[in-house]
Amino acid sequence: MRHCMSPLDFTVEELDHMMDLASDIEKNPDRYSHVCDGKKIATLFYEPSTRTRLSFETAMLNLGGKVIGFSSAQSSSAAKGESVADTIRVISCFADIAAIRHPKEGAPYVASLHSGIPVINAGDGGHQHPTQTLTDLTTIRAIKGHMDHLTIGLCGDLKFGRTVHSLISALVRYPGIRFILISPEELRIPDYVREDVLKKNNVPFEEVIRLEDAMPELDVLYMTRVQKERFFNEEDYVRMKDFYILDAEKMKLAKEDCTVLHPLPRVNEISVDVDPDPRACYFRQVQYGVYIRMALIMALLDIPESRQFLGDEFQACGKEE
Amino acid sequence: MRQGEHMLNIGGLHEGVVLDHIPAGKAMDIYKRLKLDKLDCQVAMIMRARSNKMGQKDIIKVEAPLELLNLDALGFIDHSITVNIIKDAVIVEKRKLNLPKKLVNIIHCKNPRCITSIEQGLDQVFYLSDPADEIYRCVYCDEKYHSSKK
């Protein structure tokens, strides 16, 4: 039995196969509409995240399965003091697979140690959010047609944004990737990402402050929100906030085939005048999130229709202890 | 100078383990970390003994079988320590220590956002993420352990 704790739990090849399955689901949704008949997913959300929870639930419903779960710690036994380990032991009697969102880092991993069913980490504090990364990778591959030899711009809060750290760690495994990291000085990527991930893998990258400076070079622009409270003072925020707002004017500097992504929710960092631009792909990204979650659920449940893409060895090679 | 001329001699060990080449002043720390006070056996600690190789060193003699010592903890503290296994008053084996790949209940995660901060009964588990720089990370939250010796 395999779980999904981090995007790096899967090899590049396994991810490729899973994305092939997601792509087939996109083309032939009817073929997969009953492959999980009789199966149930438990969405155990100890903190609210409507978007991620609904994406998992939609994925299971699209596969013909059913959904149980809770959407906040208050409505679960956690409020009575039940441990994560006990909760998953109980849920293992009810459901076939579980997706867990928890404010404490490592909680889904603890669940996986005691679970009788596959566990998916649906976000644990500032640590990991693997299905967001799988969504990002799937979107890039679906739109670009490949994952290698791309110049990827990551813009905004690169210090606290776990989606950014996770995406960088996943992308460095592909050849010819180059990063342009666009952020204010205060919100540059943490040292461990710069040293342990980028430099250690000899991945070329540059750090710039203004989005306009990077725009013409980018194949992919991944936007994130710059929150006012992250700045040390109001003056800096006012001076810089416009650097990180993407609008139609800045899009004029971008390549014709630049792909703009955003993990959402968006506040004001992408102006609505960018939405009609065919290069704005953040809502398609949400749709790909459903496809790849469908593929992941099928893979972890070892649904026969997934084996032609993943091979029999997928279940055999679990995470190394 | 004849070898051992200036050594302080403690009664020989018939059966047990001698931890040699401990950096001077570290024996007490190792005594605590290996929980030697919990063992029902004789323990002799020699501190700041003269050493040709190290100038000064600490030595711990434990009259207990090797299995009772946590070699992972010892390897983590300092893998240059020599472990001599004594049987019938002679050294029968010199065991080299390695940096352990996994540490269980030896160090604790200090990340307040880690699940270990609230979930009862969880083992504190760290994995060796970078052998070259001897960096350990919490298996739950990946928090880096900041060792005092690094």
The tokens of A81 are what?
Answer: 């003091």
Measured between beta carbons, which residues in chain B are less than 8 angstroms from residue A83?
119-121
What CATH number belongs to A131-284?
3.40.50.1370
Residues 174-203 of A with CB under 8 A from B: 192, 196
Indicate if A129 belongs to the active site.
yes
Kindly indicate the confidence band of residue B24, based on its pLDDT and cuts at 50, 70 and 90.
Answer: very high
pLDDT of residue B53: 86
Fold of B16-95: Alpha-Beta Plaits (3.30.70)
pLDDT of residue A49: 87
Measured between beta carbons, which residues in chain A are less than 8 angstroms from residue B118?
104
Residue B6 pLDDT > 60, yes or no? no
The tokens of A259 are what?
Answer: 């792909």
- What gap in Å lies between CA B74 and CA A220, rounded to an integer? 49
Measured between beta carbons, which residues in chain A are less than 8 angstroms from residue B123?
none
Kindly indicate the confidence band of residue A229, based on its pLDDT and cuts at 50, 70 and 90.
Answer: low
Domain ranges of chain A: 7-128+289-316, 131-284
B9/A contact by beta carbon, under 8 A: no
Q: To the nearest 10°, report the CA torsion of A83, A87, A89, A91.
A: -170
pLDDT of residue A318: 55
pLDDT of residue A48: 86
B141/A contact by beta carbon, under 8 A: yes
**Which class would CATH give A7-128+289-316?**
alpha beta
Query: Which burial class, exposed, middle or buried, applies to A147 when counting CB atoms under 10 A from its CB (0-12, 13-18, 19+)?
Result: buried
A105/B contact by beta carbon, under 8 A: yes
- What gap in Å lies between CA A263 and CA A225, rounded to an integer? 9
pLDDT in tens, B90-129: 899 998 898 999 999 999 999 999 999 999 889 999 999 8
Kindly indicate the confidence band of residue A320, based on its pLDDT and cuts at 50, 70 and 90.
Answer: very low
- What gap in Å lies between CA B24 and CA B51, rounded to an integer? 10
Domain ranges of chain B: 16-95, 102-138
Is A253 in contact with A212 (CB distance < 8 Å)?
yes
Q: From the candidates A3, A43, A52, A53, which is the catalytic residue?
A: A52
Residue A194 pLDDT > 50, yes or no? yes
Suggest the residue from B141, B144, B145 to mutate for an interface test with chain A (most A CBs closer than 10 A): B141
SS3 B103: strand
A84/B contact by beta carbon, under 8 A: yes
Indicate if A80 belongs to the active site.
yes
Is A298 in contact with A305 (CB distance < 8 Å)?
yes
Indicate if A224 belongs to the active site.
no
| Whether B139 and A106 lie within 8 Å, measured CB to CB | yes
pLDDT in tens, A95-140: 999 999 999 999 999 999 999 999 999 999 888 999 999 999 999 9
Is B21 in contact with B6 (CB distance < 8 Å)?
no
In this predicted structure, which of A85-89, A280-284, B28-32 has the lowest mean pLDDT? B28-32
User: Mean pLDDT, to the nearest integer, of A72-93?
Assistant: 87
Determine the distance in angstroms separating the CA of B119 from the nearest CA of chain A, rounded to an integer: 6
Mean per-residue pLDDT over chain A, rounded: 92
The rounded Cα A273 to chain-centroid distance in angstroms is: 25
φ, ψ dihedrals at A138, nearest 5°: -60, -40
Of B113, B118, B144, the CB nearest to A126: B113
| Whether B115 and A83 lie within 8 Å, measured CB to CB | no
In this predicted structure, which of A74-83, A119-128, A271-280, B66-75 has the lowest mean pLDDT? A74-83
Suggest the residue from A46, A86, A127, A319 to mutate for an interface test with chain B (most B CBs closer than 10 A): A127
**β-strand partners of A178:** A151
- For residue A265, is the peptide bond before it cis, meaning its omega torsion is within 30 degrees of 0? yes
Residue B7 pLDDT > 50, yes or no? yes
| Whether A84 and B130 lie within 8 Å, measured CB to CB | no
pLDDT in tens, A306-315: 999 998 888 7
Residue A319 pLDDT > 50, yes or no? no
B112/A contact by beta carbon, under 8 A: no
pLDDT of residue A208: 96
| Whether A110 and B121 lie within 8 Å, measured CB to CB | no
End-to-end C-alpha distance for chain B, whole angstroms:
36
Q: Greater confidence, A225 or A139?
A: A139
User: Mean pLDDT, to the nearest integer, of A83-97?
Assistant: 96
A103/B contact by beta carbon, under 8 A: yes
pLDDT in tens, A29-76: 999 999 999 999 999 999 988 899 999 999 999 999 999 999 888 777
Kindly indicate the confidence band of residue B1, based on its pLDDT and cuts at 50, 70 and 90.
Answer: very low
| Whether B122 and A110 lie within 8 Å, measured CB to CB | yes
DSSP state letters, A157-200: -TTT-HHHHHHHHHHTTSTT-EEEEE--GGGPPPHHIIIIIIIT
pLDDT of residue A317: 67
ipTM for this model: 0.86
Q: Greater confidence, B3 or A296?
A: A296
Kindly indicate the confidence band of residue B5, based on its pLDDT and cuts at 50, 70 and 90.
Answer: low
| Whether A106 and B120 lie within 8 Å, measured CB to CB | no
User: Mean pLDDT, to the nearest integer, of A136-157?
Assistant: 96
